[in-house]
Structure 1
Amino acid sequence: MQLRHKSLLSAALVTLVLAAPARAGAPADSAPRTGGWQQVGDDATSGVSGLALSGKAAAHGAVDALVVHDNKKPGQSRISHVTFHPSAPKDTKVTPLAWDGMEPKDLEAIEAVPGTDGEFMALASRGLVYRLHVDGDTARVLDLTPLPAIPEGADFEGFALGTAHGKTVAVWADRGAGADRPATVFAAPFSLNEYGEAEFGSVRKAEFRAAYPKGDVRHVSDISIAKSGRIMVSSASDAGDDGPFASAVSEAGRVSLNASGSAATLRIGAPRSAPDRFDGRKIEAVECLPGADGRALLGTDDENLGGFVKSASVCGG
């Protein structure tokens, strides 16, 4: 079964939306020493805790996306738009969006809703999912739904949507913590009812332990669904708000739907290959891009050091 990432609804080349640095429309900074990472935020309030392709076409190889920030105080930025130019850092732009509706605390993921125009699901760490409509410079809250089967003490950091047989499947994860608490990955059929409310079908779940980093690791810091239902996850660790940080991206398993779309199958296991390592960064956003080259857009929340983005071949061919 071919499971297509929700981003295939957008143009082949897309633009990235990120958390804002100092001013709207400001060019993001980049330095040669960053290894291809472009800075899109310069403090603890402008890191990237999740990102989604915007669905808008972008010229000259740019990527257009929406990015969420894990801020908790009233009035702080929750969502930004980023136009990411991989080969032209000076052209990368970051613009904060207005949030219209109940302000969330600690947004950790965002995904476009397949088959819609400008609608997204944004996940807060305690399991509340915000259905958004993004138009121009405003993200408006349309609905609010809790995830199903929320375990006690859960701390969610990843949410992804994919399609198969014309139906949608959701995958999300409690991040886990260190050697004693692996991540728990969940999957369920997903739909919007006639009132626009999010509905989840029967939930499947499985545990996942990251091969890297070691120590005080968040086993899953974000999730993306690649071709054929492969589940790609980022894992991350930090020793404090100033680092040091370490991250990796690896394949965690696969998800599929039956022909009617009424039941999901989730297979999680040890990565079949060594993870792609990114030392010095705390990756909290991974989005597999459409196309055959297996590239992804990655985003970091490097706490006091701000946020960075880059593209990398981590989603397989």
Structure 2
Amino acid sequence: MSEKNYVTMADGERLNIEPYFQQCFEHESSQPKTMPEYTLVKAFIKLSDYDRQVTMEVLKMLSQFTFATRKQLERLLTAKGLDPSGLEGDIELMMENRQMNCFYLSREAPVEYDPPEDALLIYCMDFGALALLNHFSNSDSVTWFTTDAVRGSELVQKYLSTVEFYLALAEVQGPALRYFKPTFDVAFGHREIRFSAAFEITDGNGVGHAFLLESVRGFDLPLNWRDKLDKKLVHFAVQPRNWGRYFLEEPVFLLLVEDEKDALEAAELFYRRTEKNNFRLITDEQVRQGLAKARFLKYIPYQPAPIAGEVTEEVKAKADLDAMSHAGTLQPVRASLLSGA
């Protein structure tokens, strides 16, 4: 993290976002200050085909992923076959029409919006987007509240890490990525869980394979991650009647972590709580380098040496204690998620 009191663009590239930073918005979201729906729709229809396409792709992404940076939006447009060179003008228009808002993250909230030149700007939806999404997207029931864009800097980092993973995955998988649902919520009994995303990849035979993505950040370890595992995730992962409400086959869990040190700790906790090994891990750095050559990580549980001599209760107890005191290891696996997942 930089020495500055705000998150810089360089920090954002590496997802170095500290906890407890505050969102500093360009403007206050207000429905009364937003133009009427008929005005927004009429103005949108008059745009060029290119500007309409860019506007809809950007707003759909923000409605699904909550946040995105300028660079992420450019990558999205490129992946959709659109030239991103006109994005800046469309962003200015969407900001003016209150279809978008943006913010930077600062240690202290300023009196007025005045981002430093090298501050990371993060974009989100605003009220004006609802009119266009409900008229021109493939859903006519999009909802949004001002509180949807209000998140702590820890969650902003998680959401942006999910966007990074999605873009890297889409670039590699193309049409084989059947769907990608960010902020995927499940409910069973009296429990509710929010995963970072759920997605499905089809193999060469057209068979779909389901995955659940969880972005585990350094600040989650160990307490937050252990708490989520114990109170919620373990009950979903080990009970077919629970995950079977959402998937035809048992989903593979994929943990997105900051580095390999966090990967081992997150994996160790996941394995000890669930006793399942159908999960993989990947670091932010691997995602940044692109998934075509990425090394997904597989957790190998610790295997104690065979016990020689008489197996007494004392010897067995010592062996059990020895196993508990040793972490497993991480083994790189082939780039494709479908290879031995």
Q: Which has the higher helix share?
A: 2
* TM-score normalised over the length of structure 1: 0.27
